[in-house]
Structures are given as C-alpha cells and as structure tokens.
Amino acid sequence: MLQKGLDVAWTRNRVIANNIANAETPNFKASKVEFESILKSELGGGGSMAMRKSSDKHMNSGGGVGSSIEPSVIQNQTTSMRTDGNNVDIENEMTELAKNNLLYQTLVQKASKEMAKARYIISEGRG
C-alpha cells in the first residue's frame, strides 16, 4: 500500500503541475486525481482486494489491501473561473501541491524506514 500511495502522490503531482502550467490557457479545464474515495468505496463495499494466485507455487503478492486499485484522473467540466473558459484556480492548485508534497515526503520517509528495517533483518542485526 505504501508503494501505491507513492504512485498516487506522484500522479497527483503531475496533474497539479499540468493544471498550474495551463493556468493561462483559454478553455483549459483543470483535472484532479481521485483515489481516496475509490479506496473507501472498495473497502466499504466489501470488494475483493486481494490478488489471486493461479498456482500454489506462486508467491503471495505482498501488495496488500488496495494494491490493485488505480487512481482516476477526473477533468472538471462544470466550473469556469474566467470568461475564456479556463477553470484553474491557481491558489487552490498551489495549496493542493503543498499538501501533496507533504504527503509524498511523509511516504518517502516511511518507505526509507521500511527499507532500513529490511536491511537490518537481512544483515541479521549486524549493521
């Protein structure tokens, strides 16, 4: 799930950067990444989240809950911030970018700690 979180944050960063880059493009419509709501509906809906093995010789995926769920990029067609049809709210985009960067940094730190634990275990505690 940690890897999925990093992937989603990376995708969200690309989408927000694209919105910011096109803030002055006539008729450009801002997009956003939907993931958390999809994950919540899957978890709440009792959907099967685990990968299935086609053979007993296969290793477990280790992907965990939510690893098969993909983020969705949604374009906002309903609002328009300006008369030229562009609906990018630059202040909102900058706020979302800052929030997303904090999330990404937190996930990277968590991944780093997980890797350090794995190295410690592999080295049998010798270093």
Predicted structure pTM score: 0.74
| pLDDT tens-digit readout, 88-112 | 999 999 999 999 999 999 999 999 9
CA 54 to chain centre: 28
Helix%, strand%, coil% for the chain, nearest 5: 50, 5, 45
Structural tokens at position 61? 């995926």
Beta bridge partners of 34: 72
pLDDT grade for 113, boundaries at 50, 70 and 90: very high
| pLDDT tens-digit readout, 23-39 | 999 999 999 999 888 77
Using the predicted structure, report yes or no on whether residue 63 has a pLDDT greater than 80.
no
Alpha-carbon distance 87 to 73, whole Å?
Answer: 16
Beta bridge partners of 33: 73
Q: What pLDDT shows up at residue 106?
A: 96
